[in-house]
Chains A and B, each alone.
Chain A
Amino acid sequence: MIEFTIWDVLRNLLLASRWTIVLSLVSFIGGGLVGLVLLFLRISRRKWARAVAKYYIELFQGTPLLMQLFIAFFGLGLFGIDVPAWLAAGLALILWSAAFLGEIWRGCVEAIAKGQWEASASLGMGRLQQMRYVILPQAMRIAVPPTVGFSVQVIKGTALTSIIGFVELSKAGTVVTNATFQPFTVYGLVALIYFALCWPLSKSSQILERKLNVAHRNH
């Protein structure tokens, strides 16, 4: 039997972490773009637009991410496309992140005082101008901490893509365990790598939030 050193295990896991990072970035950026669209729909003056965004968010927040991955994986196949795991994984994670980011950002926009809307309207600004020059710059400030916090959920969410066969950190953990028969060490290391990715983000989200609170108190 081949002996595996801890370095062999760690090297393979670190190589696979690249795909966790790439997938997280793609999902977070893609989710942000779709989330922005959702945000605009959610605060639109048209009733149907608000309803569409509301049901979208409820659907994606009310069902397991794992099911969304399965449906993307098997559902795209129905259109006669041969679906690679990365495509289904990316698509599902983008749509899932969008629902959460859209909802987080809506809260931030609604936290802006009503007088700001009224003041900008009285200057003759259109809806888009109001958003662009008055509301979003202020909302973005309060949106930073929860958005950074949510990026941790995205990284942890990518672990589920191992189940539909995308090879990233978790899948590598399973593969390496099957080769080395050392689940305790391997999954322990996998957890530590995830921790190393997520903890700095969690921590900076907390620090940003504290800073923002202090800034608010001084006003």
Chain B
Amino acid sequence: MNYHFEFGWLFEYYPQIIKGIGITIQLIAIGAVAGISLGIVCAWVRALGPLWLKPVVAAYVELIRNTPFLIQLFFIFFGLPSLGLQLSELQAANIAMVVNLGAYSSEIIRAGIQATPKGQFEAGASLAMTPFETFRHVVLIPSLQRIWPALSSQVVIVMLGSAVVSQIAAEDLTFAANFIQSRTFRAFEAYMVSTAVYLLLAVLLRQVLGTVGWLIFPRRAAK
């Protein structure tokens, strides 16, 4: 192997990398908040919602979970304009991530809701709460707490999956790596650096989600 590694380009191109990191963070921040919200609504429909809505949500969840994210992205970005819905790269990437995480998180959250003891619903009803109030005030938070680790893993998986949005020219971290390799022909080094950054982002995101969980869920008093 007669290859000399060369990282000198970093000094020239680091602004692109920083910008790419910013866009990747922005994508996952919007994706996580909106995606989990969508997931909660879908999980509510599938576990407790009106009967006529259940098959619709089930079809959405199954369709998204059984097709690749890349194709969902292409369909939204290239396919929807023929229905008159023109989206920018970033909008399409954001929508694709929300739709994708919404489907996956709804399955996870539904498992959490279904693991709720029946007595909790009955207790809510006996306090004259409507089914929705019971869900909102009694069931939701403990359900989320139960599945928070699984949900966090899914958010990290979606963040790593977001590397694909570079394919519709959304200028994320992978786009920056592609740009640099096309300018410097240092493909291996460019991808090594961006892979390391992704690894770092994944570790950080895990920490952030752990902290969020620590903040929003009630903690049992130490015995």
Interface set of A (CB-CB < 8 Å, partner B): 59, 62-68, 70-71, 74-75, 77-80, 152, 156-157, 159-160, 162-163, 170, 173-174, 177, 182-184, 187-188, 190-191, 194-195, 198-199, 202
Contact = CB atoms under 8 A, between A and B. Distances in A.
Interface in B66-119: 66-72, 74-75, 78-83
B67 A198 contact: yes
Contact of A170 (B70, B163, B177, B195): B70
Given A62-B203, A160-B68, 7 more contacts: A63-B160, A71-B195, A74-B187, A78-B188, A156-B67, A163-B70, A187-B78
Main secondary structure of the interface of B (DSSP, over half): helix
A24 B199 CA distance: 25
A184 B198 contact: no
Nearest to A64: B163
B58 to A, nearest CB: 12
A199 B191 CA distance: 33
A3 B131 CA distance: 56
Contacts of A79: 1
B194 interface: yes
B11 interface: no
Contact of A71 (B2, B160, B188): B188
Nearest to A174: B74
16 contacts: A64-B160, A64-B161, A67-B177, A67-B198, A71-B192, A170-B71, A173-B71, A183-B75, A184-B79, A184-B80, A187-B71, A187-B75, A194-B66, A195-B62, A195-B67, A199-B62
B70 A67 contact: no
Contacts of B65: 152, 198, 202
Interface in B19-44: none
Contacts of B78: 177, 183-184, 187
Nearest to B201: A62
B202 A62 contact: yes
Contacts of A71: 188, 191-192, 195
B63 interface: yes
A174 B80 CA distance: 15
B42 to A, nearest CB: 17
Nearest to B166: A66
Contacts of B81: 183
Contact of B71 (A66, A157, A163, A191): A191
